Structure 1
Amino acid sequence: MRIVVVGDVLLDVDLSGEAGRLSPDAPVPVVDVAAVRRRAGGAGLTARMLQQDAQDNRSGVSLELVTVLSDDDAASALRAELAGIRLVTGPSGAPTPVKTRVRAGNHAVVRFDEGCGAAPVPSVTEEMLQAVEGADVVLVSDYGRGLAANGQLREVLERVAGRVPVVWDPHPSGPEPVPGVAAVTPNFSEALKASGTTQGSASDVIRAAADAAAALERTWKSKAVVVTLGERGALIHHQGTSAELPHLVPAPAIGANDPCGAGDRFCSALALALGGGTTLGEAVETAVQRAAEFLGRGGVSALGEDPEPTQLHGPAVDALRVARETREAGGTVVATGGCFDLLHAGHARTLSAARRLGDCLIVCLNSDESVRRLKGPQRPIMGEDDRAELLSALECVDAVFVFGEDTPEEALAALRPDIWVKGGDYSATELPESALLRSWGGQTVTVPYIPARSTSSLAAALAEVG
């Protein structure tokens, strides 16, 4: 699969440090800069994300970035940051935009923009047009710098949209998408502005997004409009479905201080999924999850670093990260475990009681293979993905850790909880993990359970009623 990103690039500079005092010249914080980091922004960031996806997939995905570049020092730095990505470029005719962010700890203090004023519509080369013509999927990452307004390029993009997926990430200062693209992905504020839709109240986000998407689909003549809604997820409006209900894909709950780059991550994942042949609904679900994962790992500030531990159940909550951050904040990590094949009142009581013992609750969940070895070939009744999703939907559960062994010792060694909770009457000899907990100062406890409630009895009752 040949993916072509078309769009405007810029240079992002992050200055990060700590602010522990105010300036004597003015009541503003003094940031002691400890690190300076440069990275490609705009379409360059999108391309870098897709490059990482292509490396992870190892499935013959190739990537090209079609853009325009200046000949200044910032452009040289940009080329260095885009090393490893095939660039097909023309002259920009304007200075390279540079956005410098100053951060104190986890908080943004200020941003300086250089060379970000209005730019002329650049010319395109024949090589740039040929690269777009030969794509299997195209992602237009418009950052309002004029490339997406080039008439020759727009003609090619409209022609290509008739045979391959084209995803268009619009910009308020950019042109309208060409007709026929697979999906246009404005965020909520962009959708309201472009459509002229008003939001009645703070709680009226979904209705306003649905109205805006329907209006924009008619105006832009795209096959679909996908309005990204931040922590709410994304809303899909398909071409010609004004009489049908819009489709909302909710986002996992995460804690993120800086949403920068989430839109680029969403669009890059959407384009990759559509290029792989998935339906739009499935592709948007994947894109919402990838954007949540991206923010959950720290967003752009963590881009290019070693990835966080493997996600073990959902798209955005990593059990190891939850345990680490709880400990770093001085909190108590609580864990419990089991198969949880059919959730029942006994499980609910155990989980609720366990959560009240500390500041986070991690459920160590037996994998499907582990359940089969423990319970027999007819179990589990529900697969591990469904079991993990149900558990993670409970308010008292902060994360789920799926393990494949018959006993949870390895999972516990990785998580190192302060408290390990079991429901029922056990002795220390019946729970060998008690000694493991004590090795790092942890404690195993039991909580009351409901003897009449069990997965086996529920399964038998279900069998009787067919």
Structure 2
Amino acid sequence: MRPLVVLGDALLDVDLDGSSDRICPDAPVPVVDLTRTWRRPGGAGLAALLAARSTADVVLVAPLGGDQDGRILAGLLAREVGVVPMPLRGTTVTKTRVRAAGQSLVRLDDGDGRAEHSPLSREVEDTLRSAGAILVADYGRGVTGHPGVRKLLTELAPAIPVVWDPHPRGAEPVAGVRLATPNLAEAAHFTETRSDPEELAKRTHALWSAEAVSVTTGADGAVLTDGDRCTTFRPPAGVVAKDTCGAGDRFASAVAAALLDGSSTDEAVAKGVDAAARFVATGGAATLSTSDTVAVQKTEYHGVSAFEVAARVRQEGGRLVATGGCFDLLHPGHASLLRQARALGDALVVCLNSDESVRGLKGPGRPIVTARDRARLLTELSSVDAVAIFDEPDPAAILDRLRPDVWVKGGDYADAELPESAVVHRHGGEIVLIPTIRGYSTSRLVAAAEGA
């Protein structure tokens, strides 16, 4: 399958977490004692990482700077997606949130970087021409106004799906895009009207030469129109948002991946609404952040048993994360899940199904790799602090002993579907669901090897 190419303005998002229990003596503002710094790609960079949750081959085309923040951003992106840089004029745009007890107090924006409107490089042009679908993630920093970009997208739009996620400070979509995805505020801005979602969708569609327009409406889902009809897509019942940061990017990236996979526009929007709802319910963009303290703490816990790790983390007032599975034949999907899980706390314990447990779940031909060797491989990863092997069909019993603050599960589950939910919640823990990367599975690797 040809890749999904994300084109747009990449930013660096930083969260400064801390605690606040006093007011500054010389001004009526809270004093925040910082404890941790988290970094993640923002803008089109976030859209690319989220697209990688829906399809295996994702390439980001974006202006990147050579300053320190630009190098950090490039390093974070390169872990999971291909990166094709465009020239950036100015410094990398960085958005920093200061938070206490999970509540944002202030956001600080820095950097003046904009896309340089020089001729497109051969690599950029070849990457866009090789795409099976293109997601334009506009963050108002000049990419969508680039004459060469607009000319090439106009040429490609009739042949491949182009999803255009607009920005009030960006250029309007080129003619022929498959779908434009403004939110309510953006649709009101572009049409200079205030109205209900259906009317805004119709007016936006009349304004642009897009095949269809989908106006996202937050907790109410999205309204899709092709000019003749309007359809409303609602999120799953009972889904509660924990953090809405990145919801629009998750919607647009899931839609683009679905179109790449051959879905109709209606099917793609339905999948996008579902993916965005699950994303905000499991922590939003914060689940993609990387903490500065990970490497130091990995060294501290190396070689210590899972239960010793758990005890030490609790003693130090830290946050213990656990995840589980068979991990038979490690692949990039596993590595991505483990990295994201480790970024959620101060130590990660993997609850590993024993050989007997795997046979009960997967059949007599599994596991391919013994529990002892699977554990060895996992502990060699920088994201894993310890491994605990269990014999039961599910990890509820071992979680009762570990009592993690966070239990991470890969895949499209709901809390109610997990047999271990009750024990995690009983000890005051929370469950974070991280969608797996499509295209990677042990079963698929085994089938490919047998067919070779």
TM-score w.r.t. length of structure 2:
0.63
Given the superposition, is the C-alpha separation of residues 402 and 196 from structure 1 closer, same or farther in structure 2, using an over 3 Å criterion? Answer: same
Q: Which amino acid aligns with 2:243?
A: D
Given the superposition, is the C-alpha separation of residues 151 and 123 from structure 1 closer, same or farther in structure 2, using an over 3 Å criterion? Answer: same
Does residue 1:171 correspond to 2:167, yes or no?
A: yes
Indicate the SS of the match to 1:164.
coil
Do the aligned partners of 1:23 and 1:30 also contact (CA within 8 Å) in 2? yes
Residue 269 of structure 2: aligned partner: 284
> Could you tell me how far apart the structure 2 residues matched to 1:43 and 1:301 are?
16
Shift of residue 67 of structure 1?
Answer: 1.1
Do the aligned partners of 2:90 and 2:114 also contact (CA within 8 Å) in 1? no
Using CA pairs under 8 Å that are at least 6 residues apart, name the structure with larger relative contact order, 1 or 2: 2
Do the aligned partners of 1:197 and 1:211 also contact (CA within 8 Å) in 2? no
Do the aligned partners of 1:261 and 1:300 also contact (CA within 8 Å) in 2? yes
Shift of residue 292 of structure 1?
Answer: 1.1
Residues 371-407 of structure 1: CA distance to partner in whole angstroms, max 9, x if unpaired?
xxxxxxxxxxxxxxxxxxxxxxxxxxxx77348xxxx
Residue 251 of structure 1: aligned partner: 235
Residue 66 of structure 2: aligned partner: 71
Q: Which amino acid aligns with 1:51?
A: A
Shift of residue 283 of structure 1?
Answer: 1.1
> Could you tell me how far apart the structure 2 residues matched to 1:118 and 1:65 are?
16
Indicate the SS of the match to 1:11.
strand
Given the superposition, is the C-alpha separation of residues 108 and 185 from structure 1 closer, same or farther in structure 2, using an over 3 Å criterion? Answer: same
> Could you tell me how far apart the structure 1 residues matched to 2:24 and 2:188 are?
40
> Could you tell me how far apart the structure 2 residues matched to 1:196 and 1:94 are?
32
Q: Which amino acid aligns with 1:76?
A: R
Residue 36 of structure 1: aligned partner: 37
> Could you tell me how far apart the structure 1 residues matched to 2:43 and 2:285 are?
12
Residue 231 of structure 1: aligned partner: 219
Residue 422 of structure 2: aligned partner: 415
After superposition, residues 145-224 of structure 1 pair within 5 angstroms as: 145-199=141-195, 208-224=196-212
Do the aligned partners of 2:87 and 2:116 also contact (CA within 8 Å) in 1? no
After superposition, residues 369-388 of structure 1 pair within 5 angstroms as: none
Indicate the SS of the match to 1:401.
helix
Indicate the SS of the match to 2:61.
strand
> Could you tell me how far apart the structure 2 residues matched to 1:400 and 1:89 are?
40
Shift of residue 50 of structure 1?
Answer: 1.8
Shift of residue 53 of structure 1?
Answer: 3.0
Residue 262 of structure 1: aligned partner: 247
Given the superposition, is the C-alpha separation of residues 155 and 418 from structure 1 closer, same or farther in structure 2, using an over 3 Å criterion? Answer: closer
> Could you tell me how far apart the structure 1 residues matched to 2:322 and 2:251 are?
18
Residues 404-435 of structure 1: CA distance to partner in whole angstroms, max 9, x if unpaired?
xxxxxxx4x6524999xxxxxxxxxxxxxxxx
- Aligned partner (choices 57, 75, 78) of residue 83 of structure 1: 78
> Could you tell me how far apart the structure 2 residues matched to 1:50 and 1:400 are?
23
Q: Which has the larger radius of gyration?
A: 1
Residues 306-352 of structure 1: CA distance to partner in whole angstroms, max 9, x if unpaired?
89899xxxxxxxxxxxxxxxxxxxxxxxxxxxxxxxxxxxxxxxxxx
Do the aligned partners of 1:121 and 1:145 also contact (CA within 8 Å) in 2? no
Residues 22-66 of structure 1: CA distance to partner in whole angstroms, max 9, x if unpaired?
111211111111110111111111111122333xxxxxx422111
Q: Which amino acid aligns with 1:63?
A: V
Do the aligned partners of 2:92 and 2:113 also contact (CA within 8 Å) in 1? no
Q: Which amino acid aligns with 2:151?
A: E
Given the superposition, is the C-alpha separation of residues 417 and 96 from structure 1 closer, same or farther in structure 2, using an over 3 Å criterion? Answer: closer
Residue 141 of structure 1: aligned partner: 137
Q: Which amino acid aligns with 2:84?
A: V
Q: Which amino acid aligns with 1:40?
A: P
Q: Which amino acid aligns with 1:5?
A: V
After superposition, residues 430-449 of structure 1 pair within 5 angstroms as: none
Shift of residue 256 of structure 1?
Answer: 2.7
Shift of residue 130 of structure 1?
Answer: 1.6
After superposition, residues 442-461 of structure 1 pair within 5 angstroms as: none
> Could you tell me how far apart the structure 2 residues matched to 1:37 and 1:24 are?
28
Residue 99 of structure 2: aligned partner: 103
Residue 325 of structure 1: aligned partner: none
> Could you tell me how far apart the structure 1 residues matched to 2:52 and 2:38 are?
20
Indicate the SS of the match to 1:223.
coil
Residues 133-168 of structure 1: CA distance to partner in whole angstroms, max 9, x if unpaired?
111000000100001111111111111110111000
The unaligned stretches of length 5 or more in structure 2 are 291-320, 326-413, 428-452
- Aligned partner (choices 270, 280, 290) of residue 295 of structure 1: 280
Do the aligned partners of 2:177 and 2:211 also contact (CA within 8 Å) in 1? yes
The unaligned stretches of length 5 or more in structure 1 are 55-60, 200-207, 311-398, 404-410, 420-439, 441-466
Shift of residue 69 of structure 1?
Answer: 1.4
> Could you tell me how far apart the structure 2 residues matched to 1:5 and 1:38 are?
20
Do the aligned partners of 1:13 and 1:38 also contact (CA within 8 Å) in 2? yes
Given the superposition, is the C-alpha separation of residues 416 and 113 from structure 1 closer, same or farther in structure 2, using an over 3 Å criterion? Answer: closer
Residues 173-193 of structure 1: CA distance to partner in whole angstroms, max 9, x if unpaired?
000000111110001000011
Given the superposition, is the C-alpha separation of residues 418 and 108 from structure 1 closer, same or farther in structure 2, using an over 3 Å criterion? Answer: closer
Q: How many residues align?
A: 306
Q: Which amino acid aligns with 1:9?
A: A
Do the aligned partners of 1:91 and 1:123 also contact (CA within 8 Å) in 2? no
Given the superposition, is the C-alpha separation of residues 107 and 116 from structure 1 closer, same or farther in structure 2, using an over 3 Å criterion? Answer: farther
Do the aligned partners of 1:123 and 1:150 also contact (CA within 8 Å) in 2? no
> Could you tell me how far apart the structure 2 residues matched to 1:119 and 1:181 are?
22
Shift of residue 20 of structure 1?
Answer: 1.4
Given the superposition, is the C-alpha separation of residues 122 and 215 from structure 1 closer, same or farther in structure 2, using an over 3 Å criterion? Answer: farther
Residue 398 of structure 2: aligned partner: none
Residues 166-223 of structure 1: CA distance to partner in whole angstroms, max 9, x if unpaired?
0000000000000111110001000011011223xxxxxxxx2212211221221101
Do the aligned partners of 1:70 and 1:91 also contact (CA within 8 Å) in 2? yes
Q: Which amino acid aligns with 1:401?
A: A
Q: Which amino acid aligns with 1:284?
A: V
Given the superposition, is the C-alpha separation of residues 418 and 277 from structure 1 closer, same or farther in structure 2, using an over 3 Å criterion? Answer: closer
Shift of residue 68 of structure 1?
Answer: 1.1
